[in-house]
Amino acid sequence: MATPAEPPATRALSSGAPTTLQALRSPRLLLREALAGLVVALALIPEAIAFSVIAGVDPKVGLFSSFVMAVSIAFLGGRPAMITAATGAVALVIAPVMRDYGFDYFIATVLLAGALQIVLAVLGVAKLMRFIPRSVMVGFVNALALLVFGAQIPELIGVPWAVYPLVAAGILIMVLMPKITRAVPAPLVSVILITAAAVTFAINVPTVGDKGDLPASLPEFFFPSVPLTWETLSIIGPFALGMALVGLMESLLTAKLVDDITDTPSNKTRETWAQGVANMLAGMFGGMGGCAVVGQTMINVKVSGARTRISTFLAGAFLLILILVLGDLVSLIPMAALVAVMIMVSVAAFDWHSIAPSTLRRLPKSETFVMVATVAVVLATHNLAIGVIAGVVVAAVLFVRRVAHVVAVERVPSEGAVTYRVTGELFFASSNDLTTMFDYTGDPARVIVDMTDAHVWDASSVAALDAITTKYARRGTTVELVGMNAATRTLHERLSGGLGVE
C-alpha cells in the first residue's frame, strides 16, 4: 500500500527551511513567521532609539531607518530571515559627520555608503568570506553574545529594585514556555506578561517611552542639500567607505551565521548589493542606514524559529505600526522585559562548546588563540568588524608561521654528483631559509635539485632558487632543476633571472 505523500508545508517544517510560498500556504508556518516578526519589532524599538542617540540624531531617524531597511531587504536580500536595521557599529562610524557637518552631510554619507556597497558587490567582495577561518567565526559569535549581554548591564545599574524580579521572571518564562508550547514565541509571551504585570500593579520601572519620543507621522522623502563638489566628497568619502565596509562585514558574517544555524546556503553577493540598496533607500527617507542586526537576527532565527522573508518584512511592518498606531502602548513596555529577552539571546548565541575543557584539549592551541584574540579585540573596540579583521590577521600569521617550517631538503650523494630533494610548499615565508640548506663548499661539480615533491607559489621562492644557482655558479658548480610541476615551471620560467639576484 502506497504511503500518502507528505504535504509540502509539513516537509518544509521538518526540514526547517520552508520557502516564502510554502509559509504563506501553511497557517502554522505563517503564524510562526508573523509572531517572530512582532518580537523582533518590539526589540528593535529601544535599540533603534539608542543608536540614534549614539549618532546624534532624532530617535525617528533610527526608527524609520530600521523600518525602511527591514522591509526593503525582505525583498532584495540574499539571506532569508536575517534582520537588517539601524546598528550601533554604523552609528559609531558616521556620528562625527553629524557632529561636525550637520544632518544634510550625514544623510549624504549614508547615500554614498550604499552606493559604495553596490560597487563592492560588483567587484565580488563577498567572495572574501571564504578566507575567514572557523576559529574567527566562533570568536565573532562569542564576542557578539558578550556584547549583547554587556549592553544590558546599564539597564540593570542604578534602577529601582523591582527591575530585578521582572528580569528574572522574564527569563523564567522564556525557559519554561518552550516546555509547554512552541506555537507562540517565548519572548513575545514574556514581554506581554511582564508588561501586563508592570501596568496592573503600577510598578515604577524604566520603560521604552523613557528612551525617547516615538514619531507620530510617516517618513518623508528627503534629499540632502549639499554642494556636489570634490570638497563634499573629501568630507563624506572616508566616513562612507568606513560605513560600507563595517556594514558589509557584519552583514556577511551574520548571513554566514544564519547559514550554519539553518543548514541552508545564501547568496552573499546578492546580500552585498541589497544592503547597499537598502542603505540608499533609508537615506532617501532621512534614515541613518545600518546593516544586519545580529541580536535581532538571533531572536528571529534561533529563538523564534523564523526561516523566511515574511518574518523580516513583518518585523519592519510591525515596527511602523507599533510606533505610529500603538505608540502609547509600546511606551509602557518595561525595559526589564526587553533586557530579559536580550540576555536569553546572548546565552543562546554563545558557543558554549568552544570553551568546554574537552574541546580546548583537542583543539590546536593556535585555533583557541585566534578565537580568544578575536573576542578580545571586539570587546576592546566594541566593533565586530575590527575584531574579525584582527582575527583573520592573527590566523594568517599563525598559519604562515606553521607552514614556514614544513619545507624539508634531503641531501642524497651519488657518484660525481649530489641530489637535493625538496619537499613542501615554497612561498615567501618557507623559502627564506631554503638557501641555507645546501652545502655550497662541499658539493661536487654537479648538483641536482629535485622539485618533484615541491611547489613554488611566489617570486620570493623563485628568487631563492636563483640565489642557490648563483652561489654554486661562483664555485664553478652546475645546478640542474628537475621535477617541476607545470605551474612551478611556468612561474620559474617567467621570473627566473629577472629578480635582480646576484
Chain segment 473-489, per-residue pLDDT in tens: 988 899 999 999 999 99
Please give the distance of CA 403 from its chain centroid, rounded to a whole number. Answer: 28
Query: What is the full DSSP assignment across 352-421?
Result: GGGGSHHHHHHS-HHHHHHHHHHHHHHHHHT-HHHHHHHHHHHHHHHHHHHHTT--EEEEEEETTEEEEE
Predicted pLDDT of residue 68: 96
pLDDT band at 97 (very low <50, low <70, confident <90, very high): very high
Residue 273 CA to residue 278 CA, distance in Å, equals 9
Cβ atoms of 22 and 312 within 8 Å: the answer is: no
Domain ranges of the chain: 20-398, 408-495
Cell 513567521, located at residue: 33
Predicted pLDDT of residue 15: 46
Tell me the three state secondary structure of residue 481: strand
Is the domain defined by 408-495 classed in CATH 3.30.750.24?
Answer: yes
Residue 431 CA to residue 462 CA, distance in Å, equals 9
Predicted pLDDT of residue 341: 85
Q: What would the 3-class secondary structure string for 147-161 be? A: HHHHCCHHHHCCCCC
Angle at 288 between CA 286 and CA 293, to 5 degrees: 135
Encode pLDDT of 487-501 as tens digits. Answer: 999 999 888 876 655
Q: Which residue has the higher pLDDT, 149 or 9?
A: 149
Continuous H helices in 325-356:
327-330, 335-349
Predicted pLDDT of residue 425: 86
pLDDT band at 159 (very low <50, low <70, confident <90, very high): very high
Backbone angles phi, psi at 265, to 5 degrees: -85, 165
Residue 188 CA to residue 60 CA, distance in Å, equals 24
pLDDT at 5 over 70: no
Predicted pLDDT of residue 502: 55
What's the grid cell of residue 429?
615565508
pLDDT at 6 over 50: no
Angle at 397 between CA 360 and CA 432, to 5 degrees: 130
Predicted pLDDT of residue 300: 92
- What percent of the chain stands above pLDDT 90? 48
Q: 420: Cβ–Cβ under 8 A, 6 or more apart, which residues?
A: 409, 410, 411, 412, 437, 438, 447, 448, 449, 450
Please give the distance of CA 163 from its chain centroid, rounded to a whole number. Answer: 32
Residue 128 CA to residue 107 CA, distance in Å, equals 29
Q: Which amino acid is at 489?
A: R
pLDDT at 16 over 60: no
Mean pLDDT of 48-76: 90
| Per-range mean pLDDT, top range of 38-52, 154-168, 420-434 | 154-168
* 139-153, 309-323, 409-423, 447-461: segment of lowest average pLDDT: 139-153
Residue 73 CA to residue 63 CA, distance in Å, equals 15
| Per-range mean pLDDT, top range of 216-230, 264-278, 337-351 | 264-278
Backbone angles phi, psi at 418, to 5 degrees: -140, 140
What are residue 418's DSSP bridge partners?
Answer: 413, 447
Average pLDDT, rounded, for the chain: 88
Q: Which amino acid is at 476?
A: G
Burial category of 228 from C-beta neighbours within 10 Å (exposed 0-12, middle 13-18, buried 19 and up): exposed
Count the Cβ atoms, other than its own, within 10 Å of residue 302: 16
Nearest to 81 by CA among 345, 301, 298, 263: 301
Residue 226 CA to residue 228 CA, distance in Å, equals 6
Predicted pLDDT of residue 312: 96
pLDDT at 131 over 90: no
**Whether pTM exceeds 0.85:** no
